[in-house]
Amino acid sequence: MTESTTPDATMATSAATSAFRERIARADAQAEEHAAARQHPKGKHTARERIAMLLDADSFLEIGRYSGSGAGEGARPSGVVTGFGQIGGRQVAVYSQDFSVSGGALGTVEGDKIVRLLDDAMRLSIPVIGLIDSGGAKIQEGVAALRQYGRIFNRTCAASGLVPQISVIMGPCAGGAVYSPALTDFVIATREASHMFVTGPDVVRAVTGERISAEELGGADIHGSVTGVVHYVAEDEDDALDQVRTLLAYLPSSSDQEAPRYAYEDADRATDRDAAAQVGSLVPASPRQPYDVTAVVSAVVDHGELVQVQEDFAANVVVGFACFEGRPVGVVANQPLVDAGTLDVDASEKLARFVRFCDAFGLPVVTFVDVPGYRPGAEQEHAGIIRRGAKVINAYASATVPLVTVVLRKAYGGAYIVMGSKAIGADLNFCWPGAEIAVLGAQGAVGIIHRRDLQQVREEAGEQAAAAEQQRLVDEYTQTVINPDKAVAIGEIDAVIAPEDTRTVIVDSLAALAEKRDERRTPYRKHDNGPL
């Protein structure tokens, strides 16, 4: 009689269970030891260590650990770890590619696991975090591996706008694999270890003869500051995973849920009110003098905390997340410290995609405007500023979340229109005293309107007299045209506010708009056809 059939035998003590424990413990220990030997010398963590670092302690439920091999004598892990866990007590779906298993290459088994996870995340309405570290597709599987990338792309697109998706690049990501993270909402990359490119240095050299390193071609810094593919460049893996947790703290778990609301005490209110009272001293009165708009935003948001997105890319605009009395919002601001805060092709795309993200997930958008216009020049025109700048119009005009706009010093021409103006769809618009809102600044307008008059003065009375006349005309134009009175009179500006009241006005505006819903009745359409 075998042990399993003895009268006192239980499933806990059966030979099958005992053998299973030993077999799995041995397989797991060998796999993790092998992974550590591959990853640790490079300063990288294993796939499971990364998940443990990301999630709340002891919250990970792994799914499909031995998919492809079974749990018998041949048990072995696949090239990706998938499952569910919690971050700050909120449920998330996570997958982590295991570079120690065939270089993390994606094949049928790995693709099936990721696709299932994405399907489950949509069904459960929870965020998805992908930890990327893979050499690409399994060459030996041919089109079957390529098929899996297509299926992942399909599910990623299906999940877009339904649940937040965050990709963390912790190693190589090349070929078709780069499009999977590129389709997600946020891409975080470690500075030293990560690389992203469609064709690697060897292919580039073979086809074009150009010699370039992986870092120069597709390193984190390149994608963080030049291409805009990466939203946050992390110093190391710990920093990268911290950023994931930080982002999720401002986001809802899905598009049909609200973002977390945080406790906000009277002591916090008093501290933030005192900080906000000083905001006017941070901005020079001269519209031509630069300043750091992030200091302005920090002065008026809760605890001075602004989490920037794409900080190193298109730095002439600032986008990011903050809170007002415990409520998360998206923040958009022109940055006079960089290129005078002008809008260009990169800034337009950065701004537009961020506004669309906030709209998809129900986050109000607060816009701080100090913009002289679009950056002039043939380079911008030939780069498609018309088409790409129009994306900002589409983003604001189609947004249904609360939109609050504050003009700090100036807003000229088309740039005024697109930066959350009342006409384009903002709910509540304010400006500081003396804000200049016009087609052109006074100097430019006078130079065009009175060009012949000034030329005549110059010819008859000399350069000094012409300069004096020009200054008189500039002062006159400023008083009669570009002050905020006309904008207030026609309802484009709801109120002129003192700088120290900015935080209070924004808080009250968000409270007034808290129940805003999309009530527009439009004929059925599948979607718009904005300028992609």
User: Which CATH number do you get for residue 325?
Assistant: 3.90.226.10
- Name the β-bridge partners of 486: none
Residue 438 confidence (pLDDT) above 60: yes
In this structure, what token pair is assigned to residue 472? 């008189």
- 229 and 294 co-located in one domain: no
Query: 185 and 302 share a domain?
Result: no
- Active-site residue, 175 included: yes
**Calpha distance 449→62 (Å, rounded):** 70
Class of residue 58 by CB neighbours under 10 A (exposed 0-12, middle 13-18, buried 19+): exposed
Of 93, 277, 352, 415, which one is the catalytic site residue? 415
- Total count of domains within the chain: 3
Do 240 and 316 reside in the same domain of the chain? no
Global pTM reads 0.91
Mean pLDDT, residues 411-421: 94
- Is 415 a residue of the active site? yes
Catalytic residue among 304, 414, 425, 434: 414
245 and 365, same domain (yes or no): no
318, 309 Cβ separation under 8 angstroms: no
Element (H, E) at 271: helix 266-276
Tokens of 190: 């470690």
DSSP of 68-133: TT-SSTT----SEEEEEEEETTEEEEEEEE-TTTGGG-B-HHHHHHHHHHHHHHHHHT--EEEEE-
Contact 442, 420 (CB under 8 A): no
**444: its two tokens:** 């430019």
Residues 79 and 142 in one domain: yes
Q: How would residue 7 be classed by pLDDT, with cut points 50, 70 and 90?
A: low
Residue 384: is its pLDDT beyond 70? yes
Residue tagged active-site, from 85, 104, 107, 175: 175
Whole-number percent of the chain with pLDDT over 70: 94
Indicate if the pLDDT at residue 445 is higher than 50: yes
Report the alpha-carbon distance of residue 295 to residue 298 in Å, rounded.
Answer: 5
Domain with 489 in it? 266-439+483-513
- Does 205 lie in the same domain as 105? yes
Residue 500, pLDDT > 50, answer yes
Assigned domain for 44 exists: yes
Average pLDDT, the chain: 90
Give the integer Cα–Cα distance in Å for 15 and 8.
13
pLDDT tens string 96-153? 999 888 888 899 999 999 999 999 999 999 999 999 998 888 889 989 999 999 999 9
